[in-house]
Structure 1
């Protein structure tokens, strides 16, 4: 659990109850950091490993890797509405929908925006905004309730 939490935050957790180093341990050149407080990683992703040495000789090692998706240094910094605001910005900055009025009958009109004949209450649409700013509307059809 500790490894997963560390990679989710891209931060090394302190060693429990480590207040001072034991003077009898020779850690010079040992490839690890023994930390007493949280240590943020230099990047927005991290990996962590944990080993378990069983009494009966069963040994195990687990590695975890992940991106920071919890702390203010990661995706949480963008806020819960980050992606919604990006989509809204794309739609707002998109050119207006073209409306082609071939006849005087609105049923015959064509648009590259929301389908005119489909704007009834209760319908759900999926909107895809291309890199050029064009909005493509697709009706989402749910299966009938069983």
Structure 2
């Protein structure tokens, strides 16, 4: 009973403080000036960041986006984002093609001189490693016999 009273008074106090600050016109502004504020939220090309990467590549590496390696790489990344397990269904030839295509993409990113390129390069490398890891782990899992 005592904890309920303490919890209720805490909630009431917080709501009164927020209401009084709003009533007297106190504005709170949060400025994030940390080094991480300028970096993309994730460390992989997921949750829509692959689209931002595609826009970056269209602007800075237009010659790359017209190559078939670009399409191959981005198709697998998009497939991974839609359903990570779906990349396990790719054939050995498609996997090899992705590895070669991702190598071309990372080499082109490494040649870029701006700071954003290094951030994108890190995300591409992490994404390729994760997809490759899925493939390695899926090969190592022993198949269980079917129950009769």
Q: TM-score, normalised by structure 1?
A: 0.22
Which entry has the higher C-alpha Rg, 1 or 2? Answer: 1
Larger helix share, 1 or 2: 2
Larger strand share, 1 or 2: 1
